[in-house]
Amino acid sequence: MPQKPKAPRYVATQISQEASWLSFNRRVLEQTRRPDFPLLERLRFLGIWASNLDEFFSARISRAFAEERGTSGYRELMKEALDQAEEAGRLYLEFLKDLAGLGIHILEPSQLTKAEKQYFGAYLAEEVAPLTDVIRPEAIPELASQALYFASGEGLLQHLIRLPESVPRLLEVPGREGGFVRLGALVRMRSDLFLPVNQKLPLYEFRLIRLAQLARSRADWDELPEALEARLDGQVSHLELEEDFPPLWAETLRVALGLEPWEVFRIAPPLDLSFVSTIVARGPASEKFKPITIEKPKGFAKDPFTYLNRRDLLLYHPFEDYGAVEAFAQMAAQDPKVEAVRATLYRIGEENGIAQSLIQAARAGKDVAVLLEGRARFDELANLEWSLRFAGAGVRVLPLPSKKVHAKALYVRRAGQAYVHLGTGNYNPINGRLYTDFSLFTAHPVLTSDVWAFFTALEQQQAPVLSTLRTGPSIRDLLLEGIQAEAHKKGEIILKFNHLTDPAVLQALEEALNRGAKVHLIIRSTITTLWEGLEVRSLIGRFLEHARVAAFKNKGKWRVWAGSADAMPRNLDRRYELFFPILDARAKRKVLEILQAQVLDDRNSFILTPSGQERCWGGKRDGQRLG
């Protein structure tokens, strides 16, 4: 009789991208309990969690909102988000007690002295009330996303008060060291300053979130301002009410905003806990992380070109100096032998040394052009401003291609010789010092010629054709080739991504697992397939894990690639990313040592399996370090 086919050892469990991302935000919330973190660092994670949840309802929920709203799966997402919000509220109250031990107090108005109340009454009248909108209920469908509102009335809902975004949510109490009071609590205290004819009525807190998407996904620079103006017209996806909000008013808001009951959260005030970042910023240094010792590559910043003529340089930020990237751009601007500079810029912030170096280079007469991504979500306005600054200085801002440019590349041509920086992170001076990322500096001709071809093709509004580097769907091809080559009992694969959701890559991993390969997955945020018997590791620590790396054992001769792309259909099919090989033997060993340390991490890890996620803390193996 023919034998029955052997059952696969690894059976997949599918998870929606949205559910996986909420699980990630649960891990962020869990960081508030880290016994090895200082108090203010644990509090910082509460603020990060709050900002993340806003991003979830403004952007990450959009697919499920459009396609699955009302299903049991969608309602489960809402249940998990509400559970996290309720947990965060309880944690906030616990933090208030712990902060009191440091001499930091978030006071209620009833705890203020008479003189303090008089001061804040004057502050509200002079600084807040003139900027505050009082809105009639007829305008509920037009309410703004993420603003903090109060509702009031006698019997029926009559007045809506929108607090100004320009006024801090948390205010210091003058003369009382460590004393703070919430703006919302003060407004409640003096509702007569905000309601018509000086009425003094109870106020009830609420806020809503709208889906935030550009009206035109292919907007070019001249269309971008109009597209940004239309962005906040998105549908409301979420409503938060304080727990004592009058039921009749709550129903009025829900119906007017077109929400289902399970999309309305009743939670304990204060709403929007992101304001705790103010306490973190102003709290004592003794309750924050001590600064790390940052290693600087010897001799590189003074003369990067001579250095790279001898050997490649690979850095691991933030443990090794992100300033080396800025120094590379600065030397390109100052060196009279430099003829041309090219850069991809995605999230660069309001102040940026690399961008200033590009302006300096253009003013010095060099040929400078940038692929500045005007559609970087939530950074569009900042990048629009930079486009004007670049144009005014003579930097050519290249047309936006049909796909977003998310690659990280800086190209310099000096006296006919080419040099490049390729990275896994953004050219952002803040993120560069807070995110773990790899930077490769090289003068290797096969890499530099491909980077030039990449810029040239996009300037000519053509799809890049590269010989060694990978962009677009060819990154998927690279991953599939590498995985399939390891699909045997001696095979070994290490993948490190923020997001792993590409169906073809996940299917190839399952086949490799069932053929006996060792598979190590280090996934920070979202993964849409998990297998019983395989432990997927997620690192959440002091620094945001951001590097994207793929390593294949290749019969003992490891092949290692890194780049800007997560393994998601969006990144591989609808963006121009860059994945680059680590060719230098010393650099390759360094990347592998870091990956292998993270595979063994038992201090910052969560182990993800189909049955849930388990904390792996308190051990001696710290994967968030160098060496």
Q: What is the pLDDT of residue 219?
A: 58
Radius of gyration for the chain, computed over Cα atoms and rounded to the nearest angstrom: 26
Same domain, 455 and 436: yes
- Retrieve residue 40's tokens: 């203010």
Q: Are 596 and 612 in contact (CB under 8 A)?
A: no
Determine the structural domain holding residue 275 and report its residue range: 38-49+69-287
Residues 336, 239 share a domain = no
Residue 244: CATH number of its domain? 3.30.1840.10
pLDDT at 490 over 70: yes
CA–CA gap between residue 31 and residue 29 (Å, rounded): 5
pLDDT at 7: 64
Task: Give the rounded percent of residues in the chain with a pLDDT score beyond 90.
Answer: 91
The number of folded domains in the chain is: 3
Whether 218 has a pLDDT exceeding 70, the answer reads: no
Q: In the listed set 460, 480, 495, which residue is the last one of a domain according to the structure?
A: 460
* One-letter identity of residue 492: E
Helices (H) and strands (E) in the chain — how many of each? 18, 29
For residues 339 and 455, state if they share a domain.
Answer: yes
For residue 465, being part of any structural domain is answered with no
Which residues lie across from 264 on neighbouring strands? 239
User: Degrees (nearest 5) of the Cα angle 502, 57, 92?
Assistant: 115
> Same domain, yes or no, for 437 and 576?
no
Supply the pLDDT for residue 6. 65
Quick check: is 456 in a domain? yes
How, if at all, do strands 179-182 and 105-107 pair? parallel
- Is pLDDT above 60 for 507? yes
Query: Is the Cβ–Cβ distance between 605 and 582 less than 8 Å?
Result: no
- Sign, CA dihedral 522-527-529-535, equals positive
Question: 329 pLDDT exceeds 90?
Answer: yes
What does the pLDDT average to over 290-309?
95
What residue type is assigned to position 61 of the chain?
Answer: I
174-207 pLDDT, tens digit per residue, is 999 999 999 999 999 999 999 987 788 999 999 9
Please determine, for residue 227, whether its predicted confidence score (pLDDT) is greater than 90. Answer: no
Higher pLDDT, 457 or 383: 457
Per-residue confidence band for 415, with pLDDT thresholds at 50, 70 and 90: very high
Q: Which range is least confidently modeled, 233-247, 368-382, 593-607?
A: 368-382
Mean pLDDT of the chain, nearest integer: 94
Span 442-454, pLDDT tens digits? 999 999 999 999 9
Quick one: average pLDDT of 334-339? 98
Distances (CA, A) of 344 to 225, 330, 410, 578, 591: 21, 16, 7, 11, 24
386/484 same-domain check: no
Is the per-residue pLDDT at 436 higher than 70? Answer: yes
Find the mean pLDDT for residues 316-330.
Answer: 97
Q: Which residues contact residue 217 at a Cβ distance below 8 angstroms, ignoring those fewer than 6 apart?
A: 375
- Cβ-Cβ contacts under 8 Å for 13 (sequence gap 6 or more): 529, 530, 531, 532, 610
* Residue 214 pLDDT > 90: no
Spatial distance between the Cα atoms of 9 and 533, rounded to a whole number of angstroms: 8
Residue 21 belongs to some domain of the structure: no
> What pLDDT score was predicted for residue 558?
98
Return the amino acid letter for 248. L
Same domain, 259 and 128: yes
Distance CA 328, CA 409 (A): 12
State yes or no: is 406 an active-site residue: yes
Which is nearest to 419 in space by CA: 296, 325, 324, 304? 304
**Which residues, in sequence order, are bridge partners of residue 107?**
181
Given a cut of 90, whether residue 231 has pLDDT beyond it is no
Q: If pLDDT is split at 50, 70 and 90, which confidence band does 234 have?
A: confident
pLDDT for 5 equals: 57
Q: What does the DSSP 8-state code read for residue 291?
A: P
CATH number of the domain at 442, please: 3.30.870.10
H or E, element range at 572: helix 569-573
Same domain flag for 357 and 268: no
Same domain, 352 and 443: yes
**Residue 1 placed within a domain:** no
Q: How confident is the model at residue 152 (pLDDT cuts 50, 70, 90)?
A: very high
pLDDT digits (tens, 9 = 90+) for 554-610: 999 999 999 999 999 999 999 999 999 999 999 999 999 999 999 999 999 999 999
CA–CA dist 326, 213 (Å, integer): 32
Q: Given 159, 238, 317, 406, which residue is catalytic?
A: 406
Q: Same structural domain for residues 494 and 449?
A: no
Query: How is 4-21 classified by DSSP, letter by letter?
Result: PPPPPSS-EEE--HHHHH
112 and 256 share a domain?
yes
Cα gap 253→153, rounded to integer Å: 14
Query: At 47, which helix (H) or strand (E)?
Result: helix 39-55
Q: Which two tokens stand for residue 422?
A: 């390729």
Last residue of a domain, one of 255, 287, 319: 287
Residues 399, 516 within the same domain: no
Say if residues 221 and 388 touch (Cβ distance below 8 Å): no
Instruction: With a cut of 90, say whether residue 377 has pLDDT above it.
Output: no
User: Rounded CA gap, 209 and 272, in Å?
Assistant: 11
In a domain, 143, yes or no: yes
Residues 371 and 512 in one domain: no
